Amino acid sequence: MAGVAFVVNGTRREVQASGDTPLLYVLRNDLELSGPQFGCGLSQCGACSVLVDGKEARACVLPVNRVAGKDVTTLEGLPGLWAKQRGGPADGESSLHPVQQAWIDEQVPQCGFCQNGMMIKAAELLADTPSPSIAQIKQAFMAGPSPHLCRCGSYSAIVEAVQRASTIMARRK
């Protein structure tokens, strides 16, 4: 067991874990974060997604030593990420990232278990592509190690919510 240090949601953290431990277990069990979920452990569904230096990664297969010194954002950290992106801590309108707000406005989740990864992916997409087309949205959720899977079939709601989030972002910038 060695210490691994990295930044989680803006705060430097150090954990004692063997380097091959998947980041997901460290986030959930050591740091008690509940956003990323275990869905498959195989990099095939996206339930466990986090942002590593702004890019979506699958925490279920990512050894913790690979994020040493890096910047990890989980669902819990999306509001902070949004504050940083718009260049100031205070967003008087909401304490949520526009993606989270849009997910509520559009009533996206059914069971909600997959939605961590869906929101992480949406946040990643909108940071690069502020007004994506429907085709770009679908493409984003298909890209990466695997498509992001939702067994409850909330896909159409997700597309609508990404569009709404894009509008909220433009308004709140």
Look at the alpha carbons of 142, 148, 150, 151 in this order and tell me if their dihedral is positive or negative: positive
Residue range at the interface with other proteins (CB under 8 A); choices 26-34, 51-59, 84-92, 124-132: 26-34
Distance between CA 4 and CA 68 in Å, rounded? 6
Q: Which of 12-20, 34-42, 78-86, 93-101 is the region at the interface with ligand FES (rule: CB under 6 A)?
A: 34-42
CA separation for the pair 54, 103 (Å, rounded):
20
Segment lying near ligand FES (by CB under 6 A), choices 68-76, 91-99, 109-117, 134-142: 109-117
d(Cα 4, Cα 10) in Å, to the nearest integer?
16
In angstroms, rounded to a whole number, what is the distance separating the alpha carbons of residues 165 and 108?
12
Q: Residues interacting with other proteins, by CB under 8 A? A: 17-18, 20-22, 25, 28-29, 32-35, 37-42, 44-45, 47, 74-76, 96, 100, 103-104, 107-116, 119, 138, 141-142, 146-159
Q: Residues interacting with ligand FES, by CB under 6 A? A: 38-41, 43-48, 58, 60, 109-115, 150-152, 154
